[in-house]
Chains A and B, each alone.
Chain A
Amino acid sequence: MFDFSPTLYVLLMILFATASFFIIRKFNQRRKRFASKYPNLSKNERLERLKQERLELAQAKKDMRKAIKAKKAEWKAEDKKADEIARANVLALKAEVKESKAEFEKVKAEYLADKENPEKEALYLETMKKHDRLCQKLRIEKERISLLRRIERWSKRGGRLRRELFIKRQYYYLVTPYALLFILFTVIPVAMSLILSFTYFNLLEFPSWVGWENYMRLFVDDKVFIIAIRNTLILAVITGPLSYLSAFVFAWLINELRPKLRAFMTLIFYAPSISGNVYLVWKLIFSSDMYGYANAFLLSYNFIDEPILWLQDPKYIIWIIMLVQLWLSLGVSFLAFIAGLQSVNRELYEAGAIDGIKNRWQELWFITLPQMKSQLMFGAVMQITSSLAIAEVATQLAGFPSIEYAGHTIITHLMDYGSLRMEMGYASSIATILFFMMIGANLLVRKILRRVGS
């Protein structure tokens, strides 16, 4: 059971080290804060002071809680009394209304029988008014014990949170549909995949707990997973930064053009990523006979003697996937960069020119980049996520599974176990690892980017 593989061992060590680092840091901070609060005391005195403070705080909290409890009980009794009175009122009023209604009907019938009589008409109108007034009274009393009133009272007499919830209830009405769907389709699946990764689950039987076995199997037994990780990392490390840089560089270059030309170039660069299945064209371009463009081009200039099996040769597959992914990668972040560049304050450029900025590189570094830091951050998030999630391009171009697993990424591995072999527990453990890889990479890069500007 406990023969850890070296990788797992190292991973656990790192996890343990980071955790202990954070805990120790937190204690240290606390100590320092206290030391700066009482700089003149010795260590022992300080400790005593700390103990005393803690005790006082606990006592204060206890008192507070007691007071609140008493107050709440008082309120509760008050409310109960008010409720009872209101209820009694309602009952009494109901009886009265019943009586007056009977009387009203009687008068009405009399009036209808003899419409010409002015006396009867006057009586009819009077009784009607009376009846209406009674009905209104009943309505008011009823509202006093209605649900909304009760909720209002309940929230007014609670703490700050309860009051806020009531006052701001309209915001919750607006947010609820989205929040529910988001929780159902994003938050719960993440939690489920975390839990399922420790189980054996084949969709038919109830999941059974297996502990770390799935992870152990992943790192020790599953050679294909190691290949998948390697491919994913190669793809991500190369396409991620490259696509990020190219998105920025092209956005920057396009920004120099005149508006109409700029719009046209934006379309040209952005079109591949929105036109869906167009990357299937690359299948034709890299087709393995001599009619494929790549082969025909190389053959006609005598670089090669016979057509290359581009999408069947493990040597080339990953590079072709990379190329196509780069071609597809000018997406949302590219648009964000263009927008960010356009919203840079123009006056700053003129000011910069006066201050001695000579060429466009200096302009870029000193004026443009600091101003669009937030867009850079957003673009990084989008680009990292998409470069770690390369799958569809790989399966469509290189086949699924690809030859010698040359185009096998973590997500294709996940698809393999999740939707073909139906080993949901195992698939979940793959997903969990990918999830932490993505979040980790994003947080790391965000941290780095935040430092670059300052």
Chain B
Amino acid sequence: MAREKMHIDDDSLRDQKLSKAEIKRARRQEKKLKKFGIHDEAKMGKIERFFYLQQKKRRIKRKKRISRSLGGDIALALVLALFGAFSAYPLVYTIFAAFKPLNELFIYPPRLFVQNPTLDNFTDLIMLMEESWVPFSRYFFNTIFITLAGTVGHVIIASMAAYPLAKHKFPGSKILFALVVYSLMFAPQVTATPSYIIFSTIGLIDSPWAIIIPAFSSSLGLYLMKQFMSDIPMELIESAKIDGANEFQIYWRVVMPLVKPAWLTLIILLFQRLWNNDGGTYIYSEQLKPLSYALHQIVNAGVGRAGTASAVILIMMIVPITVFILSQTQIIETMAHSGMK
């Protein structure tokens, strides 16, 4: 797999005897470079050189490793294709099912792909929404409010706490961080009962804040943020201090711009959690319920609404996936620091 697309390095062209196919490939490569108008690096303009160097870099990166066999490459491709299909199949099924007319949904034997795509399911969904007792825009507003407030608050509060934990030592810092690490080790459902009692004593029951405020103190976010921040060089912080900044200014003006990948990660992690939150036991008023709850009702209505249900699921899954696609590289960068001792 990697072999077909491999580019030959200039040095190796000179040193080795080449097969016909390889010579062909090298010529094709040369042609491509000529298209760019590039022959000699010294004669190039600034922009041309930039592109040339980038291409060269890429070529070097793709150099073949010795410890790779063709059989292994093929096996790898097969395994990935198989499990990728297993992983993607339900998603693809949902996407197609959302566009299937009723007679295709209940065809026997069932098919994956759609023959005559329609938007019937979506129009049905809109009709259902109009019929509902609470206007649907209200559910939308609730979810967007919960998601936005929770995410913004969490990113600010968690990173504010992560900065001193990562870069400074003070009495209590080790204990707090150890507690956070321990809290990663059990699921939040464990504390559901006492949490409910606490919420009801504070008076947060039946308001969106019952979901938003606990989301602020999510421990995974703090953990990732702290691990990412501990790689910031101390000299930067000290030089800011010499310039007369106080700790809050250092946090806001120096540290925060440097950890952009980390906040994007916190955003996506919390976003998906809050976006899919259906209010659970904390919110019982119909007009305060989030979107996920309303859509659950539609999905649970049974076989008769299979098409509409797929449309609903499609809508619910598109938003987090889009957010993930947009911030993928940054998230991977953050996760590189996630290690635990």
Contact surface of A with B, Cβ cutoff 8 Å = 161, 164-165, 168, 170-175, 177-179, 181-182, 184-190, 192-193, 196, 203, 246, 250, 253-254, 256-258, 263, 265-272, 274-282, 284-285, 287, 289-293, 296-297, 299-300, 327, 330, 332, 335-336, 338-340, 342-343, 349, 352-353, 357-360, 362-363, 372-375, 377-378, 381-382, 384-386, 388-389, 391, 411, 414-415, 418-419, 424, 427-428, 431, 434-435, 438-439, 442-443
- Name the one of A171, A177, A327 contacting B86, with C-beta atoms under 8 angstroms: A327
B76 CB to closest chain A CB (Å) equals 5
- Name the one of B171, B191, B220 contacting A190, with C-beta atoms under 8 angstroms: B191
Q: Are B339 and A353 in contact (CB under 8 A)?
A: no
Q: Are B65 and A338 in contact (CB under 8 A)?
A: no
Interface membership of B233, Cβ < 8 A: no
Residue among B80, B186, B217, B316 with max Cβ neighbours from chain A (10 Å):
B186
Interface membership of B219, Cβ < 8 A: yes
Q: Are B157 and A177 in contact (CB under 8 A)?
A: yes
Q: Are B67 and A359 in contact (CB under 8 A)?
A: yes
Q: Please give, as numbers and ranges, the residues of chain B lying within 8 Å of A254 by CB-CB distance.
A: 80
Q: Are A275 and B317 in contact (CB under 8 A)?
A: yes
Q: Please give, as numbers and ranges, the residues of chain B lying within 8 Å of A181 by CB-CB distance.
A: 157, 213-214, 216-217
* Distance in angstroms between the alpha carbons of A192 and B184 in the assembled complex: 18
Interface residues on B, range: 35 or more
Q: Are B336 and A178 in contact (CB under 8 A)?
A: no
Q: Please give, as numbers and ranges, the residues of chain B lying within 8 Å of A330 by CB-CB distance.
A: 87
Closest B residue to A171 by beta carbon equals: B164
Over the window 64-78 of chain B, the binary record of Cβ atoms lying under 8 Å from chain A Cβ atoms (1 yes, 0 no) is 011111001100100
Interface membership of B132, Cβ < 8 A: no
Interface membership of B130, Cβ < 8 A: no
User: Which residues in chain B, 61-101, are within 8 Å of chain A measured between CB atoms?
Assistant: 62, 65-69, 72-73, 76, 79-80, 83-84, 86-88, 90-91, 93-94, 97
* Distance in angstroms between the alpha carbons of A447 and B310 in the assembled complex: 44
Q: Please give, as numbers and ranges, the residues of chain A lying within 8 Å of B18 by CB-CB distance.
A: none
* Distance in angstroms between the alpha carbons of A296 and B24 in the assembled complex: 50
Q: Are A414 and B320 in contact (CB under 8 A)?
A: no
In the A-B complex, the 7 residue pairs with the closest CB atoms: A374-B339, A275-B317, A389-B187, A178-B161, A276-B276, A339-B335, A189-B191
Q: Are B79 and A349 in contact (CB under 8 A)?
A: no
User: Which residues in chain B, 238-288, are within 8 Å of chain A measured between CB atoms?
Assistant: 246-248, 251, 268-269, 272, 275-276, 281
Q: Show 22 A/B contacts (Cβ-Cβ < 8 Å), sorted by A.
A: A175-B160, A175-B165, A177-B157, A178-B157, A182-B217, A189-B191, A189-B198, A193-B193, A256-B73, A265-B84, A274-B320, A274-B321, A278-B94, A284-B306, A293-B93, A336-B335, A339-B336, A353-B66, A374-B339, A385-B185, A431-B191, A438-B187
Closest A residue to B189 by beta carbon equals: A411
A13 CB to closest chain B CB (Å) equals 25
Q: Are A343 and B336 in contact (CB under 8 A)?
A: yes
A267-B179 contact in complex given A193-B191, A256-B2, C-beta closer than 8 Å: no
B contacts with A: majority SS: helix
Q: Please give, as numbers and ranges, the residues of chain B lying within 8 Å of A263 by CB-CB distance.
A: 328-329
Q: Are A285 and B93 in contact (CB under 8 A)?
A: yes
Contact surface of B with A, Cβ cutoff 8 Å = 2, 5, 62, 65-69, 72-73, 76, 79-80, 83-84, 86-88, 90-91, 93-94, 97, 106, 108-110, 157-158, 160-161, 163-165, 168, 170-171, 173, 176, 179-180, 182-187, 189-198, 213-214, 216-217, 219-220, 222, 246-248, 251, 268-269, 272, 275-276, 281, 292, 295-296, 299, 303, 306, 309-310, 313, 316-317, 320-321, 324-325, 328-329, 331-341
* Distance in angstroms between the alpha carbons of A340 and B5 in the assembled complex: 26
